[in-house]
Every structure is written in structure tokens, then in C-alpha cells.
Chain A
Amino acid sequence: MKKSSILGLIVIAISIAVIISTYGSTSTYGSIADARKTTDELHIVGHLDLKREMHYDAVKDANYFTFFIKDSNGEECQVEFTGAKPQDFERSEQVVMVGKMDAGKFHASHITLKCPSKYTQDKVDFTEFKAKEANI
């Protein structure tokens, strides 16, 4: 056999290994209901529920933050996060969390925020406009 054929085979073998290992370590997107059923880590996409209590007291524990989220099925769940409260958290529109359920609470190991500022920047700021109106 030619060396190039051997090399070709090795390449194919490694490529397959890469795909399998990647597939093996991928996670899944799920709902809160899915998370309750499994002990595996998964991604949950949800909205922050501003009506429920959000707890972060840097003075007591700078690494403990809890809040409530609502997923697209309308189900609600409390989330615990070991770490500082992400900046500008209240303004986030969508929260993507990686973690797993434990005793009814979702333990997030990672939080990504989608802030409206990134998406709906097309709102012209007219605060100044209102102040001026009175003069006209």
C-alpha cells in the first residue's frame, strides 16, 4: 500500500473520531420540563421573570445569585447561579442558561444574556424631544 493511502485512512479515522467526540459532547436545548426529567446538563432558553424575587446581595455573598425564569411553555423555575450577578441583568430579554436541575432549582453553570440593546437599537432616543415640546 502506498504511504499516501495509509495517511488517507488515518485522516478518515481521525475525522470520524472528531465527529463522534463532538457529537458526544454536544448538549441539547430543552425546556424546564425536560430539565426536571434528566440529570444531564442542558441548555435552557428562557425569559427573566421580573415580577418574582431576584436575589443578589453582594454584601452577604458576592457569589450567589438567584432569579426566576419562564420558558417558552410558560413554565417557571428558580435558577441559582454561583457567581456575581451579570451586569445589566434586568435589562436582558432572553437568558440562555447551561446547567441542570437539582431539588427543584436549576443550577446554572453558565449564563448568556441577550440584551435588547443589541437587537432593538433602532429606537431613537427622544427623551429630549419631550422636554422641548413644552416650549413650542
Chain B
Amino acid sequence: MDTFKGEHLLPGHLGQFFTILAFGSALFAAISYYFATINPSDTSWKRLGRIGAYINTASVIGIGICLYYIILNHLFEYYYAWEHSSRALPVHYIISSFWDGQEGSFWLWTFWQGVLSCILIWKAKSWETPVMAVVSLSQAIVATMLIGVDIFGQRIGTSPFILLREAINLKESAPIFATNPALYHNYLSYIKDGNGMNPLLQNYWMVIHPPTLFLGFASMVVPFAYAIAGLWQKRYTEWIKPAISYSLFAMMVLGTGIIMGAFWAYESLSFGGFWAWDPVENASIIPWLILVGAVHVMIVYKNTGHSYFTATILVLTSFVLVLYASFLTRSGVLGDTSVHAFTDAGMFWHLVADVVIFLILAIVLLAIRWKELPRTKKDEETYSREFWMFVGAIFLCLSCFHLVVVSSIPVWNLMFGTKVAPPSDPIRHYNIIQASFAVVVTLLTGVTQFMKYKKTDITKFFITSAIYLILAGVITGVIIYVTGVYKLQFVFILIMVGAVYSILANAKVFIEALKGKVKLAGSAVAHIGFGLIMVGALISAGTSKVISENTSGDQFSSDFVKTKNNPKENIILYKNTPVQMGKYLVSYVGDSISPPNHYFKVNYKVVDANGKVTEEFMLKPNAQANMKMGLISSPDTKHYLFSDLYTHVNMSNAITVGEGTAEAGHDEADDDKNYETPLVYEVSPGDTIRFREGYMILESIAKKDHISDITLTDKDIAIGAKLHVVSHDKSYEAEPVYMIRSNNAFDFARKVDDAGLKLRFTKVIPQKNKIEVTLYQQPESAKKWIVMRAIKFPDINFLWSGTIIMVIGILLSIFRRNKELKPE
């Protein structure tokens, strides 16, 4: 075997060993727990199962440590480190480069499942063996995604410990390696740096969003395992109680993860919004919707004994949909329909198998136990809270069904050989249909609050709910009038009614809860949070306004605008030339560069009628001119309490790819080409020179003792001309220098880049007691500009605060359900 200089093989070998051990121990645990379940009298099986689970968790942590070590120490002989990190990444982004790739996100998944396994061993008591059998099976299957071993010529999974030279044919990339073995032996010394991370992912939210999301996904295996265990052990009714807490937990964490993703998209992506119904986003919300439905139906069952079958089906489906979502985003099947889907890593059938295994497990068990499942003969009371909770859950499932149908269009194409393209205006399509479901769901979260457990006093119910509905209608009227939502489609106004109604009704319950019925507080708070999310999403997405409308410049394509009412959303801003946008006077005032980021400084001013500046702030949207990925920009946002102002730079002539790296040697003559014909002025101290965009005053002329890096001897004469430059209300100091050395005259020009000036001190005219200053101005066309887009998002804070309130509510519910478990 070849040996290669400079490779560190130990962490990789160790890591690879842990991946195999993780798989082996998980499989071992699953089998042991299986036998422990069917031989309850023999406790040794259970002990073996536990050992397997602990070894599995330990080896998963081992994988993480090895991989982290590799990335942190920039061992670019490993493909994963080379592909996802680089030396320039700061430490917190090195952490997120860990889960930048497919393998890293699988690791997160298996890590959280490992942690949950330990919690289950500790807490699950009589449920431990059957539940852990299922969780360990899932753990074993996730581990297969990471082992990366060839079996019968087919690679199973992709290991994060694969070496660069194994992943890529270096001899093809650099033919010299094929001909010169000595160089190939030393290949590592030519790989100076990794690919780095996509600049868009270099955001602090990317440090915590993936772990949260994957904790949510991973924890959904627990209710699934309980449902399977319930069917398997014929403990049909008992599993629901402990599973409710885990379902609530999964619902809370996954919900938080999804909103974090939305917040990241809002903060750092350039599409201008928080949600775009991209298939990747849909993939995360699909299982969540079903899970929310499942939690509600489980509570219905717990309270009334109705709907056992639906509760089981929904819990089982929610986990299968997690796996399906993983298939959608990782198999590459989405292809053209998504901007940011993962690409195919040759795992298509592997991912299909993952879905099919658990789907079949669920279907077979249900079929076997079909006849024994508890059923109620009695019909539900129409005016019971539980009946309408059930209806609400069904509508959540329908909304999920719609998302599945549309995001799976590429899958249908593949299955049926059709060539259907997604809706040409997907956002509108999703918005309208999902909004219709949301109307029903929000109204139901309100109306059920006026009903009682099992049976309700009908007259009283109709009176109170109607009063609240009228109140909600009035409040909605005010809100839509003030915010401008009334201009939207009718269905969005209906959601507003539903959301306000839900907030009011739940606020009533919450106030009652404060007076004593404390245990209802959790759901009320969660519903209020959900209502606020709806209100915030509706107002901000529905009434967001592009304020950077293009009103200047040649209307080059006027007939084009007529045919398509696409607003002209981008505006060009020349440096230091303010443009009025809405109430703001906006100007591009400069750049600040701290590699690899290039910040465009955009100044916003509000000027009142008297010409007084009432408000002023600076936004710094940034761009990275990435060598590999080109120009990638992210927005900057000014946050107010009731609105956000979002600014995003699309294009600029002030940034070039590769900037920040050593500047190419440029000579003086070349540089002069960037300026107009120079103007020569003869001035004495105190004189003013005017130029197109300002003026400058020659303050003084002084002898210089040193000029930056040039040593002056006493034979040299160097004089500096101190100039005070004022351009666009800003002042700069510049001191061009004139020097005589051994009878030769030199001069050192100074640039004022912000003002587009170059200044030279070209001559001393002793007889007139004047000096000559040569002024170079940048032509108008070479002036720096940016093309930017600014959007105002009103009331988006309702969305974020609603999320926090919802999480608090779910947390309260978890405490309550856990308390209910105690007496058991």
C-alpha cells in the first residue's frame, strides 16, 4: 500500500472503528431487547440490551470526538474537513461546519437518539424493553448511513472519515500526480486549505438550528416506539399516557427548530422573507403538523376513550413522515424544484429502505392487532370539546396531506413517469390552500375553549362563543384597517379573525387558569402563542412593502412592466448620492472590509419638513466574494418593535471576487486610467480648491521627517501639503508629499477613496510662494454603486414572540402531563 507524507490516519481509523461499533452495538441492543420483550422472565436479555445501548451511545460520542478533532485541527487529508471547513473559519463556525454535510446531520440524529435511549432506560420502567427494541432498531438503521463500508461492491452509507484521496481522484484533478509518484506521495503539502463553508451558513443561527431540528426529529422516534410497543405488548391503552409527554417534547423542539430555520432564512438569505414553501422547509413542517394532530387526538383518547385508532395511526405516521422527509431532502429526488436540497450521495435506495422498514413494521402490527383494537360503539357528543379537538386534528392532517402531495411532485414524476412541474407560483398556491386549513384550525382552537369536557350547556356555549366571535371580528376590523391586511385575499382576513378569536378565547381560559384551574394554563398559553404566530406571519408577509421601488433611471423596458405587474424592486444607489425611498433618505456612503466579509454601509435618514434629521441609522448588508461560490450576499435588518427594515445588496461594482487577498501589482500609469484628466491648481496655504463633489482647503505646508517606509537622509527634502477635504458633509485629511532626492523630484500621491479622489503635490513654485496640487477625480461612471432592495416587514415580532410563548405553553403542558404520570 502507498504511504503518504503528513497524513494523520489515527483519528480516522478510530472514528471508523466507532461507526462500526455504533452500528454493531445498536443492532445487538435491538436484538437483545427484542428477546427481553418476548422472554420477560429472563432478565439477562434486558441487561445485554442495556449494555448494547450504552456502548452505542458511547461510540456515537466517540465518532463525534474524532470528527471534531479532525475538523478542529484542519486535517484536510479527510474529505469531510476539506469539504466543509477551512482555516479561516472562526471556532463557532467550525462547530457548525461539523453538521454542514449529510454525514454530520446523521450524526446529530444518532447522537440525540443515543441521549434519548439513556433517558428511556432511566425512566421508561416497564416500557423499557419493547420501546428500546424499536429505538435501537432505528439507531442501528441511522448508523448504517454512516458506516460507509463496501458490501458486494455497493457502498452502504457514507462515512465522515473517508480520506480526500479516496473520495476524489487526485490523479485526475492534477495529472502531474499520475506521472510523478514522488509528488503524489507528498500530495498533502499542496492542499493548503479546505473548501470552506458556504457563506450563507456562516450565521450564528446555523450553530443552534440544526441541533435543535435534529433533536426534534430524533425525539419523534419515542412516541412511535411507544405506539409499536403498545400494539406489540397488547397494552393498547396504557402507552398513550407516557407517550403524550414525549410527543409534546418533540412538538416543542421541532417547532422551535423550524422557526429558528425561518429566522435564519429571514436574517441571512436574500429571498426576502421568512418562509418560502421550499420543499426543504416543507419537509420539516410535514411531520410536525401530523405530530400536533397526534398530540391532540391522544388527549382526546385519554379523556374520552374515543379515537384510539386515529391516535395510533397519527403517531405512527408522524415518524414515518420524518423518514420520508429525510428521503426527500437527502436523496436528490427534489432536483430542480428546490434551491437548497442536498444532493444525491448515492443513498437513494438506502433512504427508501429506511422509510419502508418502519412503514411495514407499523402496517403489519396494525393488521395483526386489527381486531383487538379498542373501539367505542357510542357516538361522540357533538358539543364536547374532544369532538372538535378531533376535527381540528383532522384538519391539521389535511393541511399536511396537501404539503406532502405538492412537495412530492418529483416523486410522483419518478414513480409514474410523468413530467409535471410544481405550480408556477408555488408561494401563492401554498399560501391560499394552507390558509384555508389555517382558518378552520385557528377557529377551532378558539371555539373548543368554550366547550366542556364531554358535554356542554348548549345555549351558554352559543352565547359566549358568539360574543367572542363578534369581539374578534371587531378587533380584526381594526387590525386589518391599520395594517392594510384588508387589501389581501378574503381567506387571509378570515385567518386573522380565526387567530384573534383563538387568542381571545385562550386568554379567557388563561385568566381562569390563574384563578385556580392552573392545569389548563399550558394549552391556553400554547394556543395564544400559535395565534400570535399566525397574526405575525400574516401581517408581515401580507403587507411587507418594497420601499426600494425604482423611480429613477431610464425606463428601459416600459412595455415589459405593463404586461407584468412585477414591481421594480431593485434600485441603484451611487455612492454619496442620496435617494428618497418612502420616508427614508437613503445613501450608500462607503464600504468596510474585513475579509472575507465586505460590508456596504447604507445610511438611512428620516428628515422632517423643517429639514431636521429625526432619525438616522446605518445598515451594513454584507457580501462575500467567495472564490468558489462567487458573490454571496446577506441582508442586514433594522429591527423596530413593530416593524423591520430589511436591506439587501444584489450587485455592486465595489466588490471583486478574490478581494482581500494580496493585491495584484498595479503600476502608477494604470492607476491613473481610473481617473479623469487631472486638473492642476496653484495654491498657497488657506486657499480652497473646489471639485465636483466638494472642496478642499490647503491648511499648511510642512517639512516631513519621514515618509512611511522610506528613510530620509538629511540631504533629502520632503514637504507635505496638508489638505482638508470635504465631500458630502464628510471631511477627510490627506497629505500628499513632494520630495527631492539627489536632484530628482518625486512625489507621493494620496487617495481619498471615499470621495473618489487622488491628490498629488507636483511642484513647488517658490517665486509665487505657491505649490502645485494635481487633482484626479474618478469619472461619474467609475463611481461606486450598489443595486439594493429594501423591504419593510411590519409586525414580524408577533411571529417570533408567538413562538416563544408557544414553547412556554407546551413546556407547561409537559410539566402537567408528567405530574399526571406520577401516581402510576
Contact = CB atoms under 8 A, between A and B. Distances in A.
Contact of A15 (B398, B422, B550, B571): B398
Interface size class of B (residues with CB under 8 A): 35 or more
Interface string B755-766: 000000000000
Main secondary structure of the interface of B (DSSP, over half): mixed
Interface in B382-436: 382, 387, 390-391, 394, 398, 401-402, 405-406, 409, 419-425, 429, 433
A117 B398 contact: no
B369 interface: no
Given A84-B787, A88-B630, A124-B174, A41 B424 contact: yes
B168 A58 contact: no
Interface in A28-73: 28-29, 41-43, 45, 58-64
A134 interface: no
A2 B630 CA distance: 62
- Quick one: which of A15, A61, A62, A64 has the most chain B CB within 10 A? A62
Main secondary structure of the interface of A (DSSP, over half): mixed
Contact of A85 (B164, B390, B651): B651
A129 B190 contact: yes
B363 interface: no
A24 to B, nearest CB: 9
Interface in A1-29: 2-4, 7, 11, 14-15, 18-19, 21-23, 25-29
Given A27-B423, A87-B632, A88-B631, A18 B394 contact: no
B650 A27 contact: no
A7 B391 contact: yes
A93 B377 CA distance: 62
A23 B288 CA distance: 24
A129 to B, nearest CB: 5
Contacts of B787: 58, 62, 84
A7 B390 CA distance: 10
Contact of B401 (A18, A45, A118, A124): A18
Contacts of B394: 7, 11
A60 B554 contact: yes
Contact of A61 (B192, B555, B633): B555
A17 B424 CA distance: 19
B668 interface: no
- Quick one: which of A18, A42, A43 has the most chain B CB within 10 A? A18
Contact of A62 (B170, B195, B433, B550): B550
B421 A27 contact: yes
Nearest to A41: B424
B165 to A, nearest CB: 10
Contacts of A132: 190
Contact of B423 (A15, A19, A26, A83): A26
A129 B174 contact: yes
B343 interface: yes
A120 to B, nearest CB: 10
Contacts of A27: 420-424
Contacts of A62: 550, 553, 568, 570-572, 650-651, 787
Given A27-B421, A28-B421, A124-B173, A59 B339 contact: no
A44 to B, nearest CB: 10
Interface string B614-639: 00000000000000111111000000
Contacts of B556: 60-61, 64
Nearest to B428: A25
Contact of A83 (B195, B569, B632, B785): B569
Given A15-B398, A42-B421, A121 B563 contact: no
A77 interface: no
A75 interface: no
A126 B560 CA distance: 46
B191 interface: yes
B781 interface: yes
Contacts of A7: 390-391, 394
A41 B423 CA distance: 10
Given A7-B391, A96-B336, A18 B564 contact: no
Contacts of B379: 2-4
Given A18-B405, A28-B421, A87 B631 contact: yes
A91 B556 CA distance: 26
B743 interface: no
Contacts of A102: 563
Given A28-B419, A60-B556, A63-B550, A82 B568 contact: yes
A1 B514 CA distance: 41
B281 to A, nearest CB: 15
A93 B429 CA distance: 28
Nearest to B652: A58
Interface string B552-582: 0111110011011010111110000000000
Given A58-B651, A115-B629, A22 B785 contact: no
Given A2-B379, A7-B394, A60-B556, A91 B190 contact: no
Contact of A3 (B173, B174, B387): B387
A84 B553 CA distance: 14
Nearest to B789: A84
Contacts of B421: 26-29, 42-43
A102 B409 CA distance: 28
Interface in A90-134: 91, 96, 98, 102, 107, 109-110, 112, 114-115, 117-119, 121-126, 128-129, 132-133
Contacts of A98: 424
B752 interface: no
25 contacts: A7-B390, A15-B401, A18-B405, A19-B405, A22-B405, A22-B406, A22-B429, A22-B433, A27-B423, A42-B421, A62-B651, A82-B557, A82-B561, A84-B650, A87-B630, A87-B632, A88-B629, A102-B563, A107-B563, A112-B339, A117-B629, A118-B343, A124-B164, A124-B191, A126-B174
Lowest 9 A-B CB distances belong to which pairs? A88-B630, A61-B556, A84-B650, A27-B424, A63-B568, A43-B421, A27-B421, A25-B423, A41-B424
Given A80-B560, A122-B168, 6 more contacts: A58-B787, A63-B550, A82-B560, A84-B789, A107-B563, A112-B336
